[in-house]
Structure 1
Amino acid sequence: MAKLTKKQKEAKAKVDVNVAHNLMDASTLVKEITNVNFDASVDIAVRLGVDPRKANQMVRGVVTLPHGTGKEVRVLALVTPDKEAEVKEAGADYVGLDDYLQKIKEGWTDVDVIVTLPSVMGKLGPLGRILGPRGLMPNPKTGTVTMDVAKAVQDVKGGKIDFKVDKTGIVHASIGKVSFEAEKLAENAHELVQTLVKLKPSTVKGSYIKSIFLSSTMSPSVAIDTKTV
Protein backbone atom coordinates (compact mmCIF):
# COMPACT_ATOMS: atom_id res chain seq x y z
CA MET A 1 0.00 0.00 0.00
CA ALA A 2 1.35 3.42 -1.01
CA LYS A 3 2.32 5.76 1.79
CA LEU A 4 0.40 9.01 2.17
CA THR A 5 2.30 12.24 1.73
CA LYS A 6 2.32 14.85 4.49
CA LYS A 7 -0.30 16.93 2.61
CA GLN A 8 -2.49 13.88 2.04
CA LYS A 9 -2.36 13.02 5.74
CA GLU A 10 -3.29 16.59 6.65
CA ALA A 11 -6.22 16.51 4.23
CA LYS A 12 -7.45 13.14 5.49
CA ALA A 13 -7.26 14.35 9.09
CA LYS A 14 -9.73 17.15 8.26
CA VAL A 15 -12.37 14.72 7.00
CA ASP A 16 -14.48 12.93 9.58
CA VAL A 17 -15.78 9.83 7.79
CA ASN A 18 -18.67 9.63 10.26
CA VAL A 19 -20.03 13.07 9.39
CA ALA A 20 -22.29 13.83 6.40
CA HIS A 21 -22.35 17.49 5.35
CA ASN A 22 -24.74 19.71 3.46
CA LEU A 23 -23.64 20.69 -0.06
CA MET A 24 -22.28 24.09 0.92
CA ASP A 25 -20.16 22.77 3.78
CA ALA A 26 -18.95 19.84 1.68
CA SER A 27 -17.93 22.16 -1.17
CA THR A 28 -16.06 24.41 1.25
CA LEU A 29 -14.28 21.43 2.80
CA VAL A 30 -13.26 19.97 -0.57
CA LYS A 31 -11.68 23.29 -1.51
CA GLU A 32 -9.87 23.37 1.84
CA ILE A 33 -8.40 19.85 1.60
CA THR A 34 -7.22 20.11 -2.00
CA ASN A 35 -3.47 20.58 -2.10
CA VAL A 36 -2.29 20.31 -5.71
CA ASN A 37 -0.46 22.81 -7.86
CA PHE A 38 -3.13 22.92 -10.57
CA ASP A 39 -6.82 23.77 -10.77
CA ALA A 40 -8.23 20.38 -9.80
CA SER A 41 -11.60 19.12 -10.99
CA VAL A 42 -14.35 18.63 -8.43
CA ASP A 43 -16.34 15.43 -8.91
CA ILE A 44 -19.56 14.05 -7.49
CA ALA A 45 -20.44 10.38 -7.08
CA VAL A 46 -24.09 9.51 -6.48
CA ARG A 47 -24.97 5.92 -5.59
CA LEU A 48 -28.47 5.06 -6.73
CA GLY A 49 -30.76 2.30 -5.52
CA VAL A 50 -31.17 0.87 -9.03
CA ASP A 51 -30.19 -2.32 -10.82
CA PRO A 52 -28.50 -1.12 -14.05
CA ARG A 53 -28.79 -4.64 -15.49
CA LYS A 54 -32.52 -4.02 -15.84
CA ALA A 55 -33.43 -1.87 -18.84
CA ASN A 56 -36.24 -0.16 -16.92
CA GLN A 57 -33.80 0.96 -14.20
CA MET A 58 -31.10 2.43 -16.44
CA VAL A 59 -30.67 6.08 -15.45
CA ARG A 60 -29.26 8.32 -18.13
CA GLY A 61 -29.75 11.97 -18.96
CA VAL A 62 -28.32 15.43 -19.47
CA VAL A 63 -28.06 18.47 -17.24
CA THR A 64 -26.89 22.02 -17.79
CA LEU A 65 -24.80 23.07 -14.83
CA PRO A 66 -25.62 26.69 -13.92
CA HIS A 67 -21.94 27.58 -13.62
CA GLY A 68 -20.47 25.18 -16.19
CA THR A 69 -17.71 22.67 -15.53
CA GLY A 70 -14.75 25.01 -15.85
CA LYS A 71 -13.32 22.74 -18.52
CA GLU A 72 -12.57 23.73 -22.08
CA VAL A 73 -14.78 21.36 -24.07
CA ARG A 74 -13.57 20.55 -27.59
CA VAL A 75 -16.55 20.08 -29.90
CA LEU A 76 -16.57 18.45 -33.31
CA ALA A 77 -19.60 19.27 -35.47
CA LEU A 78 -20.15 16.73 -38.23
CA VAL A 79 -22.49 18.66 -40.51
CA THR A 80 -23.37 19.27 -44.12
CA PRO A 81 -21.89 22.37 -45.81
CA ASP A 82 -25.10 24.41 -45.37
CA LYS A 83 -24.74 24.14 -41.57
CA GLU A 84 -21.03 24.88 -41.28
CA ALA A 85 -21.25 28.66 -40.84
CA GLU A 86 -23.80 28.52 -38.00
CA VAL A 87 -21.93 25.87 -35.98
CA LYS A 88 -18.66 27.77 -36.39
CA GLU A 89 -20.40 30.89 -35.07
CA ALA A 90 -21.81 28.82 -32.20
CA GLY A 91 -18.26 27.94 -31.13
CA ALA A 92 -17.53 24.49 -32.56
CA ASP A 93 -13.80 23.76 -32.53
CA TYR A 94 -13.84 21.44 -35.52
CA VAL A 95 -16.35 21.57 -38.36
CA GLY A 96 -16.71 19.32 -41.39
CA LEU A 97 -17.93 15.93 -42.47
CA ASP A 98 -16.22 13.46 -44.78
CA ASP A 99 -12.70 14.67 -43.95
CA TYR A 100 -13.30 14.19 -40.21
CA LEU A 101 -15.06 10.87 -40.73
CA GLN A 102 -11.91 9.67 -42.48
CA LYS A 103 -9.71 11.01 -39.66
CA ILE A 104 -11.83 9.16 -37.09
CA LYS A 105 -11.63 6.00 -39.19
CA GLU A 106 -7.85 6.35 -39.00
CA GLY A 107 -8.02 6.64 -35.19
CA TRP A 108 -8.34 10.37 -34.49
CA THR A 109 -10.56 11.08 -31.46
CA ASP A 110 -9.02 14.23 -30.01
CA VAL A 111 -12.35 15.81 -29.03
CA ASP A 112 -14.67 15.76 -26.02
CA VAL A 113 -18.08 15.87 -27.70
CA ILE A 114 -19.39 15.22 -31.20
CA VAL A 115 -22.64 16.77 -32.42
CA THR A 116 -24.27 15.93 -35.71
CA LEU A 117 -27.41 15.88 -37.84
CA PRO A 118 -29.87 12.96 -37.96
CA SER A 119 -29.09 12.56 -41.67
CA VAL A 120 -25.39 12.01 -40.90
CA MET A 121 -25.86 9.24 -38.31
CA GLY A 122 -25.86 6.57 -41.02
CA LYS A 123 -22.27 7.47 -41.84
CA LEU A 124 -21.27 7.28 -38.18
CA GLY A 125 -22.59 3.76 -37.66
CA PRO A 126 -19.46 2.00 -38.98
CA LEU A 127 -17.34 4.11 -36.61
CA GLY A 128 -19.17 2.88 -33.51
CA ARG A 129 -16.33 0.57 -32.48
CA ILE A 130 -14.04 3.63 -32.31
CA LEU A 131 -16.43 6.22 -30.86
CA GLY A 132 -18.52 3.98 -28.59
CA PRO A 133 -15.82 2.92 -26.10
CA ARG A 134 -14.70 6.55 -25.79
CA GLY A 135 -18.20 7.84 -25.09
CA LEU A 136 -18.12 9.97 -28.22
CA MET A 137 -20.99 8.47 -30.25
CA PRO A 138 -23.68 11.15 -30.71
CA ASN A 139 -27.07 10.26 -29.26
CA PRO A 140 -30.50 11.91 -29.68
CA LYS A 141 -31.18 11.32 -25.96
CA THR A 142 -28.28 13.58 -25.00
CA GLY A 143 -29.13 16.24 -27.58
CA THR A 144 -26.05 15.63 -29.71
CA VAL A 145 -28.06 14.37 -32.70
CA THR A 146 -30.35 17.22 -33.70
CA MET A 147 -31.37 19.51 -36.54
CA ASP A 148 -30.45 22.49 -34.36
CA VAL A 149 -26.74 21.71 -34.21
CA ALA A 150 -25.80 25.30 -33.41
CA LYS A 151 -27.83 25.19 -30.19
CA ALA A 152 -26.32 21.80 -29.35
CA VAL A 153 -22.83 23.30 -29.64
CA GLN A 154 -23.80 26.29 -27.47
CA ASP A 155 -25.32 24.01 -24.83
CA VAL A 156 -22.21 21.83 -24.61
CA LYS A 157 -19.94 24.86 -24.45
CA GLY A 158 -22.20 26.39 -21.79
CA GLY A 159 -21.95 23.53 -19.29
CA LYS A 160 -24.32 20.84 -20.54
CA ILE A 161 -23.10 17.38 -19.60
CA ASP A 162 -24.52 13.92 -20.04
CA PHE A 163 -24.38 11.20 -17.41
CA LYS A 164 -25.14 7.51 -17.16
CA VAL A 165 -25.30 5.17 -14.19
CA ASP A 166 -22.47 2.64 -14.28
CA LYS A 167 -22.76 -1.09 -13.71
CA THR A 168 -22.31 -0.62 -9.94
CA GLY A 169 -25.23 1.83 -9.70
CA ILE A 170 -23.14 5.00 -9.41
CA VAL A 171 -23.36 8.21 -11.42
CA HIS A 172 -20.02 10.03 -11.68
CA ALA A 173 -19.77 13.59 -12.98
CA SER A 174 -17.45 16.58 -12.88
CA ILE A 175 -19.22 19.63 -11.45
CA GLY A 176 -16.53 22.28 -11.60
CA LYS A 177 -13.04 23.28 -10.51
CA VAL A 178 -11.50 23.93 -7.10
CA SER A 179 -11.11 27.57 -8.16
CA PHE A 180 -14.91 27.89 -8.22
CA GLU A 181 -16.57 29.54 -5.23
CA ALA A 182 -18.03 26.95 -2.85
CA GLU A 183 -21.52 28.32 -3.53
CA LYS A 184 -21.16 27.68 -7.27
CA LEU A 185 -19.96 24.11 -6.68
CA ALA A 186 -22.89 23.50 -4.37
CA GLU A 187 -25.38 24.89 -6.90
CA ASN A 188 -23.92 22.73 -9.69
CA ALA A 189 -24.10 19.64 -7.48
CA HIS A 190 -27.68 20.46 -6.47
CA GLU A 191 -28.73 20.80 -10.11
CA LEU A 192 -27.31 17.39 -10.99
CA VAL A 193 -28.87 15.62 -8.00
CA GLN A 194 -32.28 17.18 -8.63
CA THR A 195 -32.07 16.05 -12.26
CA LEU A 196 -31.37 12.51 -11.06
CA VAL A 197 -34.37 12.69 -8.72
CA LYS A 198 -36.63 13.58 -11.66
CA LEU A 199 -35.31 10.55 -13.55
CA LYS A 200 -36.15 8.05 -10.82
CA PRO A 201 -37.45 4.87 -12.49
CA SER A 202 -40.99 3.95 -11.43
CA THR A 203 -39.83 0.37 -10.79
CA VAL A 204 -37.37 1.37 -8.05
CA LYS A 205 -38.46 0.36 -4.57
CA GLY A 206 -37.01 1.74 -1.35
CA SER A 207 -34.25 4.33 -1.15
CA TYR A 208 -33.28 5.87 -4.49
CA ILE A 209 -30.44 8.28 -3.59
CA LYS A 210 -28.36 6.05 -1.35
CA SER A 211 -25.23 8.14 -0.90
CA ILE A 212 -23.44 11.17 -2.32
CA PHE A 213 -19.75 11.98 -2.13
CA LEU A 214 -17.81 15.03 -3.27
CA SER A 215 -14.09 15.01 -3.99
CA SER A 216 -11.43 16.73 -6.04
CA THR A 217 -8.47 15.34 -7.91
CA MET A 218 -6.40 13.41 -5.34
CA SER A 219 -8.45 14.59 -2.34
CA PRO A 220 -10.33 12.40 0.17
CA SER A 221 -14.08 12.03 -0.43
CA VAL A 222 -16.51 14.10 1.62
CA ALA A 223 -19.89 12.54 2.44
CA ILE A 224 -23.05 14.56 1.82
CA ASP A 225 -26.26 14.20 3.80
CA THR A 226 -28.76 13.09 1.14
CA LYS A 227 -31.63 14.68 3.08
CA THR A 228 -30.12 18.15 2.58
CA VAL A 229 -29.78 18.08 -1.21
Structure 2
Amino acid sequence: MKRGKKYLEAAKAIDKAALYEKDEAVALAKKAAVAKFDETIEAHIRTGCDGRHAEQQIRGAVVLPHGTGKTVRVLVFAKGTKVDEAQAAGADFVGGEELIPKIQNEGWLDFDVVVATPDMMGVVGRLGRVLGPKGLMPNPKAGTVTMDVTKAVNDIKAGKIEYRLDKNNIIHVPIGKASFTEEQLANNFQTLMDAINKAKPSSLKGQYIKSITLAPTMGPGVKVNVVKVAQ
Protein backbone atom coordinates (compact mmCIF):
# COMPACT_ATOMS: atom_id res chain seq x y z
CA MET A 1 0.00 0.00 0.00
CA LYS A 2 1.46 3.34 -1.06
CA ARG A 3 1.64 5.83 1.80
CA GLY A 4 1.37 9.60 1.45
CA LYS A 5 4.12 12.07 2.33
CA LYS A 6 2.39 13.18 5.56
CA TYR A 7 1.98 9.59 6.76
CA LEU A 8 5.64 8.78 6.10
CA GLU A 9 6.72 11.99 7.85
CA ALA A 10 4.60 11.15 10.93
CA ALA A 11 5.86 7.55 10.94
CA LYS A 12 9.49 8.73 11.28
CA ALA A 13 8.80 9.85 14.85
CA ILE A 14 7.63 6.37 15.85
CA ASP A 15 9.94 3.44 16.48
CA LYS A 16 8.02 0.44 15.10
CA ALA A 17 9.89 -2.00 17.32
CA ALA A 18 9.39 -0.02 20.54
CA LEU A 19 6.71 -0.49 23.19
CA TYR A 20 5.80 2.92 24.56
CA GLU A 21 4.44 3.77 27.99
CA LYS A 22 0.82 4.91 27.97
CA ASP A 23 1.37 8.70 28.13
CA GLU A 24 4.11 8.69 25.50
CA ALA A 25 2.05 6.45 23.21
CA VAL A 26 -0.93 8.81 23.51
CA ALA A 27 1.29 11.84 22.75
CA LEU A 28 2.79 10.14 19.67
CA ALA A 29 -0.61 8.99 18.33
CA LYS A 30 -1.96 12.52 18.74
CA LYS A 31 1.09 13.99 16.98
CA ALA A 32 0.74 11.45 14.13
CA ALA A 33 -2.73 12.80 13.27
CA VAL A 34 -1.76 15.12 10.43
CA ALA A 35 -4.84 14.89 8.17
CA LYS A 36 -6.88 18.01 7.38
CA PHE A 37 -9.80 16.83 9.56
CA ASP A 38 -10.05 16.07 13.28
CA GLU A 39 -8.96 12.43 13.25
CA THR A 40 -10.27 9.85 15.69
CA ILE A 41 -7.66 8.16 17.89
CA GLU A 42 -8.44 4.46 18.12
CA ALA A 43 -7.24 1.67 20.36
CA HIS A 44 -6.73 -1.77 18.79
CA ILE A 45 -6.44 -4.39 21.53
CA ARG A 46 -5.40 -7.93 20.57
CA THR A 47 -6.56 -10.48 23.13
CA GLY A 48 -5.71 -14.08 23.89
CA CYS A 49 -9.41 -14.97 23.92
CA ASP A 50 -11.04 -17.43 21.55
CA GLY A 51 -14.35 -15.84 20.60
CA ARG A 52 -15.62 -19.15 19.20
CA HIS A 53 -16.24 -20.18 22.82
CA ALA A 54 -19.22 -18.37 24.35
CA GLU A 55 -17.53 -18.06 27.75
CA GLN A 56 -14.58 -16.25 26.15
CA GLN A 57 -16.68 -13.70 24.29
CA ILE A 58 -16.06 -10.16 25.52
CA ARG A 59 -18.77 -7.58 25.11
CA GLY A 60 -19.62 -4.57 27.20
CA ALA A 61 -19.78 -0.82 27.34
CA VAL A 62 -18.08 1.99 29.21
CA VAL A 63 -18.66 5.74 29.49
CA LEU A 64 -15.47 7.61 28.56
CA PRO A 65 -14.92 10.54 30.98
CA HIS A 66 -14.28 13.00 28.14
CA GLY A 67 -16.63 11.47 25.56
CA THR A 68 -15.61 10.49 22.03
CA GLY A 69 -15.82 13.90 20.40
CA LYS A 70 -18.48 12.53 18.07
CA THR A 71 -22.16 13.46 17.95
CA VAL A 72 -24.01 10.18 18.37
CA ARG A 73 -27.50 9.71 16.92
CA VAL A 74 -29.66 7.46 19.08
CA LEU A 75 -32.71 5.49 17.96
CA VAL A 76 -34.98 4.13 20.71
CA PHE A 77 -37.58 1.42 20.20
CA ALA A 78 -40.21 1.94 22.88
CA LYS A 79 -43.94 2.22 23.51
CA GLY A 80 -46.30 3.90 25.98
CA THR A 81 -44.75 6.25 28.53
CA LYS A 82 -41.25 5.13 27.50
CA VAL A 83 -41.68 7.01 24.21
CA ASP A 84 -42.01 10.33 26.06
CA GLU A 85 -39.18 9.35 28.40
CA ALA A 86 -36.83 8.65 25.47
CA GLN A 87 -37.75 11.92 23.76
CA ALA A 88 -37.23 13.89 26.98
CA ALA A 89 -33.79 12.27 27.41
CA GLY A 90 -32.73 13.57 23.99
CA ALA A 91 -33.10 10.51 21.75
CA ASP A 92 -32.87 11.52 18.08
CA PHE A 93 -35.50 9.05 16.89
CA VAL A 94 -38.16 7.15 18.84
CA GLY A 95 -40.66 4.66 17.49
CA GLY A 96 -41.86 1.09 17.22
CA GLU A 97 -43.38 -1.24 14.65
CA GLU A 98 -43.74 1.56 12.06
CA LEU A 99 -39.93 1.86 11.77
CA ILE A 100 -39.47 -1.74 10.59
CA PRO A 101 -40.34 -1.18 6.87
CA LYS A 102 -38.39 2.10 6.85
CA ILE A 103 -35.23 0.27 7.96
CA GLN A 104 -35.86 -3.02 6.14
CA ASN A 105 -37.19 -1.78 2.81
CA GLU A 106 -35.97 1.78 2.50
CA GLY A 107 -32.51 1.14 3.98
CA TRP A 108 -32.88 3.95 6.53
CA LEU A 109 -29.85 3.83 8.85
CA ASP A 110 -29.38 7.46 9.97
CA PHE A 111 -28.47 6.45 13.53
CA ASP A 112 -25.36 5.24 15.36
CA VAL A 113 -26.79 3.37 18.37
CA VAL A 114 -30.07 1.51 18.89
CA VAL A 115 -31.69 1.20 22.32
CA ALA A 116 -34.78 -0.91 23.00
CA THR A 117 -37.00 -1.66 25.96
CA PRO A 118 -37.22 -5.44 26.62
CA ASP A 119 -40.88 -5.54 25.52
CA MET A 120 -39.83 -4.24 22.07
CA MET A 121 -37.17 -6.89 21.39
CA GLY A 122 -39.69 -9.07 19.54
CA VAL A 123 -40.14 -6.22 17.06
CA VAL A 124 -36.42 -5.34 16.90
CA GLY A 125 -35.53 -9.01 16.42
CA ARG A 126 -37.07 -8.84 12.95
CA LEU A 127 -34.33 -6.40 12.00
CA GLY A 128 -31.55 -8.80 13.01
CA ARG A 129 -30.34 -9.34 9.46
CA VAL A 130 -29.99 -5.60 8.88
CA LEU A 131 -28.77 -4.40 12.27
CA GLY A 132 -26.69 -7.46 13.28
CA PRO A 133 -23.93 -7.23 10.64
CA LYS A 134 -23.58 -3.49 11.32
CA GLY A 135 -23.15 -4.06 15.07
CA LEU A 136 -26.33 -2.08 15.79
CA MET A 137 -28.42 -4.78 17.45
CA PRO A 138 -29.40 -3.80 21.04
CA ASN A 139 -27.79 -6.01 23.66
CA PRO A 140 -28.36 -6.27 27.45
CA LYS A 141 -24.58 -6.58 28.08
CA ALA A 142 -24.02 -3.24 26.39
CA GLY A 143 -26.89 -1.66 28.35
CA THR A 144 -28.91 -1.03 25.19
CA VAL A 145 -31.78 -3.36 26.14
CA THR A 146 -33.24 -1.68 29.21
CA MET A 147 -36.34 -0.15 30.76
CA ASP A 148 -34.22 2.79 31.96
CA VAL A 149 -34.15 4.56 28.60
CA THR A 150 -33.25 7.89 30.22
CA LYS A 151 -29.98 6.49 31.60
CA ALA A 152 -29.23 4.63 28.36
CA VAL A 153 -29.66 7.75 26.20
CA ASN A 154 -27.80 10.00 28.67
CA ASP A 155 -24.84 7.59 28.87
CA ILE A 156 -24.59 7.24 25.09
CA LYS A 157 -24.74 10.99 24.56
CA ALA A 158 -22.11 11.47 27.29
CA GLY A 159 -19.61 9.26 25.46
CA LYS A 160 -20.53 5.66 26.13
CA ILE A 161 -18.79 3.25 23.78
CA GLU A 162 -19.33 -0.43 23.20
CA TYR A 163 -16.45 -2.88 22.96
CA ARG A 164 -16.48 -6.41 21.61
CA LEU A 165 -14.19 -8.94 19.98
CA ASP A 166 -14.07 -9.03 16.21
CA LYS A 167 -13.57 -12.35 14.39
CA ASN A 168 -9.81 -12.10 14.98
CA ASN A 169 -10.33 -11.60 18.75
CA ILE A 170 -9.30 -7.94 18.52
CA ILE A 171 -11.21 -5.04 20.10
CA HIS A 172 -11.32 -1.80 18.08
CA VAL A 173 -12.61 1.31 19.88
CA PRO A 174 -12.29 5.09 19.67
CA ILE A 175 -10.76 6.88 22.66
CA GLY A 176 -11.34 10.43 21.44
CA LYS A 177 -10.29 12.95 18.81
CA ALA A 178 -6.86 14.29 17.88
CA SER A 179 -8.07 17.71 19.10
CA PHE A 180 -8.39 16.35 22.66
CA THR A 181 -5.59 17.10 25.12
CA GLU A 182 -3.10 14.32 25.86
CA GLU A 183 -4.53 14.11 29.36
CA GLN A 184 -8.10 13.64 28.09
CA LEU A 185 -7.00 10.88 25.69
CA ALA A 186 -4.94 9.17 28.42
CA ASN A 187 -7.90 9.28 30.85
CA ASN A 188 -10.27 7.86 28.26
CA PHE A 189 -7.78 5.13 27.35
CA GLN A 190 -7.22 4.13 30.99
CA THR A 191 -11.00 4.06 31.66
CA LEU A 192 -11.43 1.76 28.66
CA MET A 193 -8.60 -0.52 29.78
CA ASP A 194 -9.99 -0.73 33.33
CA ALA A 195 -13.32 -1.93 31.89
CA ILE A 196 -11.65 -4.45 29.57
CA ASN A 197 -9.44 -5.76 32.39
CA LYS A 198 -12.57 -6.35 34.49
CA ALA A 199 -14.19 -8.20 31.59
CA LYS A 200 -11.44 -10.86 31.50
CA PRO A 201 -13.10 -14.28 31.09
CA SER A 202 -12.45 -16.53 34.10
CA SER A 203 -11.96 -19.54 31.81
CA LEU A 204 -9.09 -17.91 29.91
CA LYS A 205 -5.72 -19.61 30.23
CA GLY A 206 -2.59 -17.71 29.24
CA GLN A 207 -2.09 -14.05 28.40
CA TYR A 208 -5.24 -11.93 28.21
CA ILE A 209 -4.03 -8.74 26.50
CA LYS A 210 -1.43 -9.61 23.88
CA SER A 211 -0.86 -6.20 22.30
CA ILE A 212 -2.29 -2.69 22.16
CA THR A 213 -1.84 -0.20 19.33
CA LEU A 214 -3.04 3.41 19.35
CA ALA A 215 -3.54 5.01 15.95
CA PRO A 216 -5.19 8.06 14.39
CA THR A 217 -7.65 7.45 11.51
CA MET A 218 -5.13 8.17 8.77
CA GLY A 219 -1.84 7.83 10.62
CA PRO A 220 0.64 5.16 11.75
CA GLY A 221 0.11 3.01 14.83
CA VAL A 222 1.97 3.30 18.14
CA LYS A 223 2.52 0.15 20.19
CA VAL A 224 1.76 0.40 23.90
CA ASN A 225 3.60 -1.45 26.66
CA VAL A 226 0.76 -3.62 27.99
CA VAL A 227 2.41 -4.41 31.34
CA LYS A 228 1.21 -1.23 33.08
CA VAL A 229 -2.27 -0.97 31.54
CA ALA A 230 -3.32 -4.61 31.40
CA GLN A 231 -3.81 -6.99 34.31
1: CA distance, partners of 2:82 / 2:206: 48
Structure-2 residue corresponding to 1:127? 127
C-alpha deviation, 1:35, in angstroms: 0.8
C-alpha deviation, 1:101, in angstroms: 2.4
Q: Is the 8 A contact 1:73 1:157 kept in 2?
A: yes
The reply on whether 1:215 has 2:221 as its aligned counterpart is no
Deviates more, 1:18-27 or 1:111-120: 18-27
Structure-2 residue corresponding to 1:174? 174
1: CA distance, partners of 2:206 / 2:158: 35
Structure-2 residue corresponding to 1:80? 79
The reply on whether 1:6 has 2:5 as its aligned counterpart is yes
The DSSP-based 3-state class of the residue aligned with 2:193 is: helix
The DSSP-based 3-state class of the residue aligned with 1:212 is: strand
> What amino acid is aligned across from residue 175 of structure 2 in structure 1?
I
What TM-score, normalized by structure 2, do the two folds share? 0.94
Q: Is the 8 A contact 2:78 2:117 kept in 1?
A: yes
C-alpha deviation, 1:32, in angstroms: 1.2
Give a deviation string over 1:141-173, Cα, whole Å, max 9, x none: 111111111111111111111111112121110
The correspondence of residues 33-72 of structure 1 with structure 2, limited to 5 A, is 33-72=32-71
The correspondence of residues 136-175 of structure 1 with structure 2, limited to 5 A, is 136-175=136-175
Task: Count matched residues.
Answer: 228
Give a deviation string over 1:105-145, Cα, whole Å, max 9, x none: 22212210111111111111221111111111111111111
Q: Is the 8 A contact 2:38 2:178 kept in 1?
A: yes
Identity over the aligned pairs, expressed in percent? 48
Q: Is the 8 A contact 2:209 2:226 kept in 1?
A: yes
> What amino acid is aligned across from residue 92 of structure 2 in structure 1?
D
C-alpha deviation, 1:41, in angstroms: 0.5
Deviates more, 1:38-47 or 1:58-67: 58-67
The DSSP-based 3-state class of the residue aligned with 1:204 is: coil
Give a deviation string over 1:37-84, Cα, whole Å, max 9, x none: 111001001111111111221111111111111111000111114222
Query: Runs of 4+ in structure 1 displaced over 6 angstroms?
Result: none
C-alpha deviation, 1:102, in angstroms: 2.7
**Stretches of structure 1 lacking an aligned partner (at least 5 in a row):** none
- TM-align CA RMSD: 1.2
What TM-score, normalized by structure 1, do the two folds share? 0.95
> What amino acid is aligned across from residue 196 of structure 2 in structure 1?
L
The correspondence of residues 101-116 of structure 1 with structure 2, limited to 5 A, is 101-106=100-105, 107-116=107-116
**Stretches of structure 2 lacking an aligned partner (at least 5 in a row):** none
